[in-house]
Amino acid sequence: MSWQTEFKDALRTNEDLEQFFEKTFPKTQYPLFIPKTFAEKIKIHGPNSPLWKQFIPHNDEVENKSGRYDPIGDITHSKGNQLIHRYQNRVLFTPTTICPVLCRYCFRKNELAEKDEVFNQNFAEAKNYLRANPQINEVIFTGGDPLILSNEKLAGFIQDFAELESIKYIRFHSRTPIILPSRIDEGLLAVLISAKEMFTRSMLMIHVNHGDELDAEIVEAIKLLTDAGIEVFSQTVLLKGVNDSTEILAELFSRLADISVKPYYLHPPDEALGAMHFYMSLEAGRRIVQPLHDLLPGWALPQYVIDIPGGEGKIPALNPESFVFSGTLINRQGLPIKV
């Protein structure tokens, strides 16, 4: 089955979900999307599994009213042209609001559900912004999920960015290889190889949270990428009830490292409205993450970083006190911030 057919043949409503799983589920205000091929895997793993908890709607999405609409300040740093400019040298580029699956814990779930201004399309304006800010040397495709775009569309954006001399690095953040491995076809490999040739470095950052996501089919798809010379990194979100144990994380990171994926980021859960049932304190997270240093070599250990609520960017999550001076939290420029 082609990835486009898999994508079209997805569960999109509560009725679809209830028919497929033969159970009832809470109705939430958030959209729902699970390709049936992936829903089959969820069904096999069952209701207490990490797969189920990440993608099946939960009562708390409706009942728990705490959390922030935009926990990491995308809107504050949005330039209104699909660019989010938070750090001096790099921008996030959001070419789509579409994802291969809708993750119940997503920190961008409110923005995506509302199709917020962060996703306003104005590509000419985005290119003008990059021309006017030549200190920006990296574009990070995020979303939504950029690998859900057609090869032609993706290649077009890549070509456009390559025409800007200031852009040296290009990065793609994606959950697609885990959810729709059939997307890693020859056409996509050709696009990613051409990106490698057009920029000084080009990287794919896959989003993966639990070893159960790395079945034989997914490992095969990732091998297609690494065999083609694509640099593959990973990012993981620490989620209560899903992967909140040292052993689970150690297994995930060592398996990723064994298939030539560099574990790059581990994020504490964000305080996202509608996803607070996945939230855990920094202190609880530290107790889980610190022992990883005893179990894994540095090259298999991701950086454990937290996005400061409000949009001030990432700081080390194991020791955020290193950013506290005289009782005040400071940002990367050394300026005091309110959280």
Read off the DSSP letter of residue 310: T
- Nearer to ligand SF4 among residue 81 and residue 97 (C-beta): 97
CB-facing half-sphere around the CA of 116: CA atoms within 13 A: 21
C-alpha angle with apex 238: 261 to 259, nearest 5 degrees? 15
CB of 48 to ligand SF4, least distance (A): 21
Euclidean distance between CA atoms 276 and 280, whole angstroms: 8
CB of 164 to ligand SF4, least distance (A): 25
Give the DSSP H/E element, type plus range, for residue 173.
strand 169-174
Euclidean distance between CA atoms 231 and 304, whole angstroms: 20
Classified as helix, coil or strand, 325 is strand
- Nearer to ligand SF4 among residue 137 and residue 274 (C-beta): 274
Place of tokens 């699970």: 34
Euclidean distance between CA atoms 274 and 66, whole angstroms: 8
Asked if residues 105 and 278 have their Cβ atoms less than 8 Å apart, the reply is: yes
CB of 51 to ligand SF4, least distance (A): 13
Selected range binding ligand SF4 among 98-106, 211-219, 222-230, 274-282, rule: CB under 6 A: 98-106
CB of 180 to ligand SF4, least distance (A): 11
102 touching ligand SF4, by CB under 6 A: yes
40 contact partners, CB below 8 Å, separation of at least 6 = none
42 touching ligand SF4, by CB under 6 A: no
Selected range binding ligand SF4 among 96-104, 156-164, 243-251, 252-260, rule: CB under 6 A: 96-104
- Nearer to ligand SF4 among residue 56 and residue 318 (C-beta): 56
325: β partners: 328
Q: For the chain, how are helix, strand and coil distributed in percent, rounded to 5?
A: 40, 15, 40
Q: Which of 51, 56, 91, 99 binds ligand SF4 (CB under 6 A)?
A: 99
Selected range binding ligand SF4 among 18-26, 95-103, 268-276, 331-339, rule: CB under 6 A: 95-103
- Nearer to ligand SF4 among residue 144 and residue 263 (C-beta): 144
Place of tokens 């189920």: 52
Q: Which of 53, 79, 108, 183 binds ligand SF4 (CB under 6 A)?
A: 108
Interface positions, 173-212, toward ligand SF4 (CB under 6 A)? 175, 207
Interface positions, 129-148, toward ligand SF4 (CB under 6 A)? 143-145
Calculate the CA 84 to chain-centre distance.
15
Asked if residues 103 and 175 have their Cβ atoms less than 8 Å apart, the reply is: yes
71 touching ligand SF4, by CB under 6 A: no
CB of 283 to ligand SF4, least distance (A): 25
User: Which residues here bind ligand SF4, judged by CB under 6 A?
Assistant: 99, 102-103, 106, 108, 143-145, 175, 207
